[in-house]
Amino acid sequence: RLNPAKLGAAMLVFIEVHLDRTVQDVMDTFKGAVQARPEILECHLVAGGFDYLLKTRVRDMGAYREFIGSVIWTLPGVRETRTYAVMEEVKATNALAF
Domain ranges of the chain: 11-85
E runs forming strands in the chain = 11-19, 40-45, 52-58, 78-85
| pLDDT band of 12, cuts 50, 70, 90 | very high
Sign for the pseudo-dihedral over CA of 66, 70, 75, 76: positive
**2 has a pLDDT exceeding 90:** no
Return d(Cα 65, Cα 62) in angstroms, integer.
5
pLDDT tens-digit profile of 32-42?
A: 999 999 999 99
| pLDDT band of 49, cuts 50, 70, 90 | very high
Return d(Cα 64, Cα 62) in angstroms, integer.
5
CATH label, 11-85, candidates 3.30.70.920, 3.50.50.60, 3.40.225.10, 3.40.50.10490: 3.30.70.920
pTM for the predicted model, two decimal places: 0.89
What are the residues facing 18 on neighbouring strands? 80
